[in-house]
Amino acid sequence: AQTVTQSQPEMSVQEAETVTLSCTYDTSENNYYLFWYKQPPSRQMILVIRQEAYKQQNATENRFSVNFQKAAKSFSLKISDSQLGDTAMYFCAFARPTTGTASKLTFGTGTRLQVTL
């Protein structure tokens, strides 16, 4: 079974600054997918960024980037130029590739990020 650990329950960052959220995971799989989801106060689950384990290059999406360290089983999210709208709960998640079946997401416990003026 896979486990996902987020050791930072809460974090705070000032607007326009950079913040890094940490995530570690445990799996015996060699091929898998990692994600960061954002859950704002509306409670909608929004995919922020995804990383395929077989890709060495770190994924980036505008102000969001990851630092994927496969050997260390670490997957951190960096948010640059933080904006008030980034205030949300952030979940790290894991999934396996599938053929002819579904692939559930396993989530970490989340990090609550507060962006302040």
Partner 1 sequence: AAGVIQSPRHLIKEKRETATLKCYPIPRHDTVYWYQQGPGQDPQFLISFYEKMQSDKGSIPDRFSAQQFSDYHSELNMSSLELGDSALYFCASSIEGGGSYNEQFFGPGTRLTVL
67 and 58 Cβ atoms separated by less than 8 Å:
yes
Q: Does 108 bind partner 1 (CB under 8 A)?
A: yes
Closest CB 101 distance from partner 1, rounded Å: 5
Cβ-Cβ contacts under 8 Å for 94 (sequence gap 6 or more): 2, 4, 25, 27, 32, 33, 34, 35, 105, 106
Q: Does 11 bind partner 1 (CB under 8 A)?
A: no
| x-marked contacts with partner 1 along 18-57 as a string, rule CB under 8 A | ---------------x---------xxx-x--x-x-----
CA atoms within 13 A on the CB side of 52: 3
Closest CB 117 distance from partner 1, rounded Å: 26
> In which residue are the tokens 């705070």 written?
12
Q: Which of residues 58-97 bind partner 1 (CB under 8 A)?
A: 91, 95-97
